[in-house]
Amino acid sequence: MATGYFTHSACQKHDMGPGHPECPQRLTAIDDHLRAQGLDAVLLPGDVPHATLDQLGRAHDHNYVIGTLDSLQRLEAAQDHRSYDPDTIGMSATREAALRAAGAAVAATDAVLTGKLANAFCSVRPPGHHATRHEAMGFCFFNNVAVAARHALDVHRLKRVAVVDFDVHHGNGTEDILDGDERVLMVGTFQHPFYPYTGDHPLGTNSVNVPLPARSDGRAFREAVQDRWLPALEDFRPEMIFISAGFDAHREDDMGGLGLVEADYAWVTEQLMHVARRWSKGRIVSCLEGGYNLSALSRSVAAHLRVLSGQM
């Protein structure tokens, strides 16, 4: 079976303004690099529908979903923009992009769980892991991975899923939504102290958070994965793995202060595939989160996808 590649042109139209690091060029850079490396030929494009109200409501408060979509629809009609927090700006194309981004994660989950794909990567934006049950923040409107994880649990009736987050920032929104859901194990590394200044004290018992100090390199990251993540994942035996794939911990990315390189992203993907083969029938859905140096981002995504697609 193939590796799916889920993306949509609407995700490139969401634009938070000149100089904003979470820019449309992120997806263009990824697509261009994958074509240059010939990886596009081994990836199976997936259809990307809108996420539905029911799907979003499994992760977010109903009033938040309705209110956010209503405000974004007004921006679309008025061709206007507004700030949802100091870093997060909605504009005329945001509603469509946000619905497609979450919809991609759900569609990828369906395709993997029905056996159409071995695994999948969602090259989408806006990202999701800072969006809490009730709040947009940190460039994020809807929590794509949390929406997909709850879809796997509540619709496909899986008993256990794991959410893995290696973004440079703590996935506070994912933890807010999934805290206390004993069907979910969350494991993550992130720079600390650093935005959003959470994660050093997990909210509940279903999170394995490993804060890393600034200037930590790939060796520290690999030790965290080997010593903390992998034993927890083995004990939990997830039936599916979801990845919040942030590549802003790369040493060339000025948004953070960690020192990972492409080989580290390939290595952690290999480790997760080993776990998935043992307990999850190989089932992985990975969704793009951070990564703002366009060259480092595109090279890191390619390294991630080479492993997922068996091209190493």
Residue 81 is a catalytic residue: no
Quote the CA–CA distance of 144 and 148 in Å, as a whole number: 6
Catalytic residue among 130, 169, 250, 304: 130
Exposure string for 160-194, b = 16+ CB within 10 A, e = fewer: bbbbbbbbbbbbbbbbbbbbebebbbbbbbbbbeb
Burial of 27 (0-12, 13-18, 19+ CB in 10 A): buried
CA proximity to 287, closest of 86, 10, 11:
11
Number of other CB atoms surrounding residue 85 within 10 Å:
13
Question: What is the residue-wise DSSP string for 218-244?
Answer: HHHHHHHIIIIIHHHHHHH--SSEEEE
Residues taking part in catalysis? 130
